[in-house]
Structure 1
């Protein structure tokens, strides 16, 4: 039995969530979180009943801007980490420019089977291909008015 034989039992793909609310700010960290847990299913393979247990081992984040990271943590929300928004986390990413990006997370799983006598590891891994998530990255301006004096000479304070 090979890992390819177990593909039919693979966990469903997981979407990454991006804090805050699928929006990023150019030059500041956006926080990525993937919710994946061990997944056990039962079924029949080659006419024999079995249980298959998949355990997530790594998370391959593709950020949509040409960069990616292979991490061993699914990430946690800023609230769970006790951190303020836009602070770095082990799974955060900084977009250098504004725009719309499509990011995803592919999750790597190891597998074990149980044919009735205990768990047996299977060599290899299964990778689930996560669906793309739309992320809108904005520019932030630190000003008390909507426009600079260069942009609009009649703005308050000009």
Structure 2
């Protein structure tokens, strides 16, 4: 940022240039350059010099003059002299970023998982295949589904947007077994697998009976105060509606007639 003007000399004759000081410029007593400027006048030329070592400045010095030929001021530690008859306004390198003015810094609060208690994420879905059933000793495919979504509202005195992203699926299969995965699973058909194939979320029941499967989805959270997403450490838990299934035993036997033909036959 450059501040104009340091010196303005308007077509003054050499005889009229009596010794003087420069006012209303960067070298004024109330300037950031105060104490770092020098002005001299020999009756035919006015020389202005400056030096500073402040944030935003190269710490250089230079002098420029008003006389008969173009001149250049020094910068970055170099110096130069010159003169010009009708000089354009000289410029002063601003020594402090932003220079004059009042500034304020906005600091956003640190957000914890507990602070997000008023933001309730969507519940995941939970199911399985075969739908409502399982077979002892073979994989029962358990499937959950959830998606990334956002909620808006007040938080710690600010209007914010909270983003929830599925991060972990904690399955409780109802027989004392549980597992955590980073996926909710998928159907056998979408995976290109035959029925009763093992998957990342399937479970093998060892005894027949009725079981209730539960799921807790762990959401990771981010907040946006209007300047970009900021991650919140930890997880927000969201339970899924329970899923109940009947696990059956399957027995095979060679018979010469179907159960319709022989209702009292093996397995009928």
1:108 aligned partner? 218
1:125 aligned partner? 235
SS in 1 for 2:115: helix
Q: Does 1:27 align with 2:115?
A: no
Q: Does 1:57 align with 2:167?
A: yes
8 A contact 2:209–2:247 mirrored in 1: yes
How far 1:155 sits from its partner (Å)? 3.0
8 A contact 2:125–2:146 mirrored in 1: no
Question: What's the Cα RMSD here?
Answer: 1.7
Structure 2 portions without partners, runs of 5+? 1-110
SS in 1 for 2:184: coil
How far 1:39 sits from its partner (Å)? 1.6
2:191 aligned partner? 81
Quick check: which one's strand share is greater? 1
1:47 aligned partner? 157
Paired residue for 1:90, among 187, 191, 200? 200
Paired residue for 2:250, among 140, 143, 151? 140
Structure 1 portions without partners, runs of 5+? 148-153
CA–CA separation in structure 2 for the residues paired with 1:8 and 1:84 = 44
How far 1:131 sits from its partner (Å)? 2.3
Paired residue for 1:68, among 155, 170, 178? 178
CA–CA separation in structure 1 for the residues paired with 2:180 and 2:240 = 14
TM-score when normalising by structure 2: 0.53
8 A contact 1:15–1:104 mirrored in 2: no
- Regions of 4+ moved over 3 Å: 144-147
Rg bigger for which structure? Answer: 2
8 A contact 1:15–1:133 mirrored in 2: no
Deviations 1:3-50 (CA, angstroms, capped at 9, x unpaired): 111132131222311111021001010111111111211111233211
Deviations 1:67-119 (CA, angstroms, capped at 9, x unpaired): 00011111011111011111111110000011000001110111000010000
How far 1:144 sits from its partner (Å)? 4.8
1:12 aligned partner? 122
| Structure 1 range deviating more: 74-83 or 125-134 | 125-134
Which protein, 1 or 2, shows the higher relative CO under an 8 Å CA cutoff with sep ≥ 6? 1
CA–CA separation in structure 1 for the residues paired with 2:235 and 2:122 = 15
How far 1:121 sits from its partner (Å)? 0.4
CA–CA separation in structure 1 for the residues paired with 2:236 and 2:194 = 35
Aligned length: 150
SS in 1 for 2:162: strand
